[in-house]
């Protein structure tokens, strides 16, 4: 039997991230196709209960220690590298999230094994694996084959539906002793919450979202007016927040909020995977972008390849007409 | 304070990208390269730290088209030393470049040791990536990524903010030397007038060092193509007026208007 397929379970603030179940669904398929066992590996503090919810795995290895309470890459990568050296899995799936980000790089570096990153799908092909990955901000897709195993695979959120990774079965659960380093050069002192008091974009039914294509804060009025007419609020991609046009609480995506409005209008947003992750489940997505090849049109339902600065004023007039 | 910034050139994704004849890489015809956005932030953060605590900033980049302009601009912005690693296959998007640059660091005279190595937290062009963790591991230094603010305190301790989901940021203390993957700097990258860049071009020097690419690569790209999606957006064409009417219709049809 080939070595096990591992899914690194992601735990943050007392719960398991949804992406953990997505990876389990993906890992289950790879393991079954290769005739291998699927093992979930969980680091945390007081996590037995969480371990038992990972029923799609054949076995859950969990290391329980106060040292693992918070996800710190330098700590987790040492513990997981030691465990992997002992147990010899052949494939290790790690979610590409802001929680597990450092781990994605540090684990293969410590193990001295290849990393295949930004994968949206992985399949067993013959004795090996083939991954489909997104590169260039989502503009290109590549098929890549790791030349050796073990291999660490960074998996983008959304590779499978989380529901497909849940199971009511109780997995075999095995506590393991993973070394918790006394010192590793980095210490998490605490978390800073985003400033409160602004609009909660996760609660809005309509979002008019602006990206770098808006070109300047002066043009924000356009988005505000459209949002107001549609009874919604303005959200943003990362550059719009970095440039100070809008507060962090309005950011949609990997580092920001996950939103599921009834309508999401993307203005001048390219559709990088880190943004799409936060809005792909909106019921209706309309994108406006001058570049007809922009990846946002791969997730939008309707696309308008026009200059937003010319189009939005016309749209605002039409909406007003419609309403009167 | 000695800071090293690793940067590289990547394709400008605002431009049209085409697949090359081999079906597995980008066509280099008309390919426009720009500095990886997060690397520019890393350079800015390094310069901010230099202003605050004195010291030097050295920039290392693999050879690539247009990289000289970027390196002279770095000098004009305030970097003290710029180094180009040559002998890499075009320097774009290859696992080779990544491994080689990591290895080349120790062969450049007077480069190491440093107090800080800053990289971008991600480059958009490769699959194996994460040079930061690799370099950190090779040099036995700690690593933190997705960092949006970084400072150094008396006693040689670093302090940084690292992004978590939902706008939450983790505050970290770091033993220096350390490797930090920068997402954003405290301020947007500074502007330098073109005259200053020209001056750097005449008075500044780009040092070069020959990298020796590794033999076997751990990863083989068998195909590159534009992403295939189940359902691409229905594009609404016509005059602006017609498009706007159609959008209103769609919204009205869903009870959104
Ligand atoms: C760890 C990590 C976390 C991240 N988290 C997030 C996150 O939470 N949220 C997020 O959004 N990003 C995030 N990013 C950044 C992400 O990778 C992209 O850089 C970002 O989403 C790009 O934003 P954008 O689409 O606004 O800008 P760009 O990619 O620069 O796109 C601008 C678009 O505007 C179009 N345009 C230009 N002018 C016009 C015009 N006049 N009219 C219409 N269209 C126009 C262009 O064609 C282009 O497609 C993260 C990255 C990393 C590495
Ligand atoms: N070949 C390279 N030369 C110098 N720096 C690099 C190279 N590749 C990556 N980097 C740095 O490492 C960061 C992460 O890149 P990557 O590991 O390719 O995602 C980049 O943002 C750069 O700062």
| pLDDT (tens digit per residue) in A163-215 | 999 999 999 999 999 888 888 999 999 999 988 777 999 999 999 999 999 99
What is the Cα–Cα distance from A121 to B18, expressed in whole angstroms?
A: 23
Is the pLDDT at B196 greater than 80, yes or no?
yes
- Computed from CA positions of residues B34, B38, B39, B41, in that sequence, does the dihedral angle turn out positive or negative? positive
- Measured in whole angstroms, how far is the alpha carbon of residue A39 from the centre of its chain? 21
Q: Which of A201, A318, A319 to mutate to test the interface with B (most CBs of B within 10 A)?
A: A318
Q: What is the ipTM of this complex?
A: 0.94
pLDDT in tens, B18-49: 999 999 989 988 889 999 999 999 999 999 99
pLDDT of residue B95: 59
Is the pLDDT at B198 greater than 50, yes or no?
yes
What is the Cα–Cα distance from A311 to B73, expressed in whole angstroms?
A: 37
pLDDT of residue B93: 46
B41 lines ligand 2 (CB under 6 A): no
The residue of chain A nearest to residue B247, with distances taken between CA atoms, is A315
Q: Quick one: average pLDDT of A228-237?
A: 98
Q: Quick one: average pLDDT of A307-320?
A: 98
pLDDT of residue A207: 98
Helix (H) or strand (E) holding B224: strand B219-225
CATH topology of domain B2-210: Rossmann fold (3.40.50)
Averaged pLDDT of chain B: 90
Cα distances from B249 to residues A300, A304, B244, B256, in angstroms, run 17, 14, 9, 10
Is the pLDDT at A318 greater than 60, yes or no?
yes
Nearest Cβ partner for B175 among A117, A185, A314: A185
Q: Which residues of A touch B218 (CB under 8 A)?
A: 113-114, 146-148
Q: Which of A302, A311, A312 to mutate to test the interface with B (most CBs of B within 10 A)?
A: A302
Q: Quick one: average pLDDT of A269-281?
A: 96
- Computed from CA positions of residues B82, B87, B93, B94, in that sequence, does the dihedral angle turn out positive or negative? negative
Angstroms from A270 CA to nearest CA on chain B: 8
Nearest to A191 by CA among B116, B150, B166: B166
pLDDT-based confidence at residue A284 (cuts at 50, 70, 90) = very high
CA B194 to centroid of ligand 2, rounded, Å:
26
Nearest Cβ partner for B17 among A101, A115, A139: A139
Q: Please state, for a pLDDT cut of 90, what percent of chain A lies above it.
A: 94
Q: Quick one: average pLDDT of B108-114?
A: 87
pLDDT of residue B218: 81
Q: pTM of the prediction?
A: 0.95
pLDDT-based confidence at residue B90 (cuts at 50, 70, 90) = low
| DSSP labels, B186-197 | SSPPPP--HHHH
Averaged pLDDT of chain A: 95
Q: Which of B37 and B110 is assigned the larger pLDDT?
A: B37
Task: Please identify which residue in the block is written with the tokens 């947007």.
Answer: B188
pLDDT of residue A170: 92
B80 three-class SS = coil
Nearest Cβ partner for A191 among B19, B93, B164: B164
What is the Cα–Cα distance from A244 to A263, expressed in whole angstroms?
A: 25
Check if B230 contacts A (Cβ < 8 Å): no
Q: Which of residues 165-194 of B touch A (CB under 8 A)?
A: 165-175, 178, 181, 183-184, 188
pLDDT of residue B91: 39
Between A and B, how many residue pairs show a Cβ–Cβ distance under 8 A?
263
Tokens of B135: 């370099």
From the alpha carbon of B97, which atom of ligand 2 is closest?
1
Check if B126 contacts A (Cβ < 8 Å): yes
What is the Cα–Cα distance from A63 to A176, expressed in whole angstroms?
A: 5
Check if B83 contacts A (Cβ < 8 Å): no
Domain boundaries, chain B: 2-210
Interface contact flag, A106 B136, Cβ < 8 Å: yes
Is the pLDDT at B79 greater than 70, yes or no?
yes
DSSP letter, residue A164: G
pLDDT-based confidence at residue B99 (cuts at 50, 70, 90) = low
From the alpha carbon of A117, which atom of ligand 2 is closest?
19
H helices of chain B, in order, are 37-53, 67-77, 95-104, 131-139, 194-203, 240-253
Most confident of A136-140, B87-91, B214-218: A136-140
pLDDT of residue A171: 94
Q: Which residues of A touch B178 (CB under 8 A)?
A: 185-186
Q: Which of B235 and B99 is assigned the larger pLDDT?
A: B235
Which structural domains are found in chain A, ordered by start?
5-175 (3.40.50.620), 201-323 (3.40.50.1220)
pLDDT of residue A155: 97
Do residues A315 and A226 make contact, with C-beta atoms less than 8 angstroms apart?
Answer: yes
pLDDT of residue B129: 63
Is the pLDDT at B92 greater than 50, yes or no?
no
Q: Quick one: average pLDDT of B195-222?
A: 88
Q: Quick one: average pLDDT of A212-224?
A: 97
pLDDT of residue A91: 98
pLDDT-based confidence at residue B105 (cuts at 50, 70, 90) = confident
Interface contact flag, B129 A184, Cβ < 8 Å: no
């Amino acid at each position: 039997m080939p070595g096990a397929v591992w899914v690194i379970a992601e735990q943050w603030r007392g719960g398991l991230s949804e992406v953990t179940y997505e990876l389990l669904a993906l890992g289950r398929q790879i393991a079954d196709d290769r005739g291998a066992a699927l093992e979930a590996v969980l680091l945390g503090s007081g996590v037995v209960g969480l371990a038992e919810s990972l029923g799609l795995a054949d076995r859950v290895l969990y290391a329980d220690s106060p040292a693992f309470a918070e996800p710190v890459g330098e700590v987790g990568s040492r513990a997981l590298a030691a465990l992997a050296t002992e147990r010899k899995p052949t494939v290790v799936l790690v979610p590409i999230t802001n929680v597990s980000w450092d781990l994605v790089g540090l684990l293969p570096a410590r193990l001295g094994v290849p990393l295949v990153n930004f994968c949206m799908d992985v399949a067993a092909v013959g004795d090996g694996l083939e991954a489909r990955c997104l590169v260039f901000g989502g503009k290109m897709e590549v098929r890549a084959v790791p030349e050796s195993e073990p291999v660490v695979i960074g998996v983008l959120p959304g590779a499978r539906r989380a529901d497909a990774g849940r199971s009511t079965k109780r997995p075999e659960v095995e506590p393991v002793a993973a070394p918790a380093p006394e010192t590793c050069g980095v210490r998490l002192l605490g978390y800073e919450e985003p400033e409160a008091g602004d609009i909660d974009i996760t609660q809005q039914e309509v979002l008019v979202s602006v990206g770098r294509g808006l070109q300047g804060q002066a043009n924000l009025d356009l988005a505000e007016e459209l949002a107001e007419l549609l009874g919604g609020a303005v959200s943003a991609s990362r550059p719009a927040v970095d440039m100070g046009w809008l507060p962090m609480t309005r950011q949609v995506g990997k580092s920001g909020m996950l939103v599921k409005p009834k309508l999401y209008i993307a203005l001048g947003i390219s559709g990088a995977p880190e943004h799409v992750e936060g809005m792909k489940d909106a019921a209706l997505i309309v994108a406006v972008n001058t570049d007809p090849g922009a990846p946002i049109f791969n997730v939008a339902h309707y696309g308008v390849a026009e200059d937003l600065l010319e189009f939005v004023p016309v749209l605002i007039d039409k909406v007003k007409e419609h309403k009167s | 304070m000695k800071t090293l910034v690793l940067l590289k050139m990547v394709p400008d994704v605002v431009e049209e990208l085409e697949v090359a004849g081999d079906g597995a890489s980008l066509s280099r015809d008309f390919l426009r390269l720009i500095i990886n956005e997060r690397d520019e932030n890393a350079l800015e953060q390094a310069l901010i730290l230099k202003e605050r605590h004195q010291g030097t900033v050295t920039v290392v980049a693999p050879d690539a088209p247009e990289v000289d302009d970027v390196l002279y601009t770095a000098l004009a912005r305030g970097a003290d030393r710029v180094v180009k690693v040559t002998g890499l296959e075009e320097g774009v998007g290859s696992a080779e470049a990544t491994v080689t640059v990591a290895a080349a660091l120790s062969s450049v005279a007077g480069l190491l040791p440093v107090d800080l190595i800053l990289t971008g937290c991600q480059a958009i062009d490769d699959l194996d990536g994460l040079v930061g963790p690799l370099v950190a591991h090779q040099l036995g230094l700690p690593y933190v990524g997705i960092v949006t603010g970084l400072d150094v305190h008396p006693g040689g301790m670093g302090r940084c903010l690292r992004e978590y989901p939902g706008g939450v940021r983790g505050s970290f203390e770091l033993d220096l030397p350390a490797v930090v993957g920068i997402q954003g700097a405290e301020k947007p990258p500074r502007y330098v007038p073109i005259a200053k860049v020209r001056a750097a071009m005449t008075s500044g020097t780009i040092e070069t060092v020959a990298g020796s690419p590794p033999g076997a690569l751990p990863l083989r790209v068998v195909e590159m193509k534009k992403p295939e999606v189940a359902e691409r957006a229905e594009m609404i064409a016509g005059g602006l007026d017609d498009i706007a009417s159609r959008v209103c219709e769609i919204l009205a049809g869903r009870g959104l208007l």
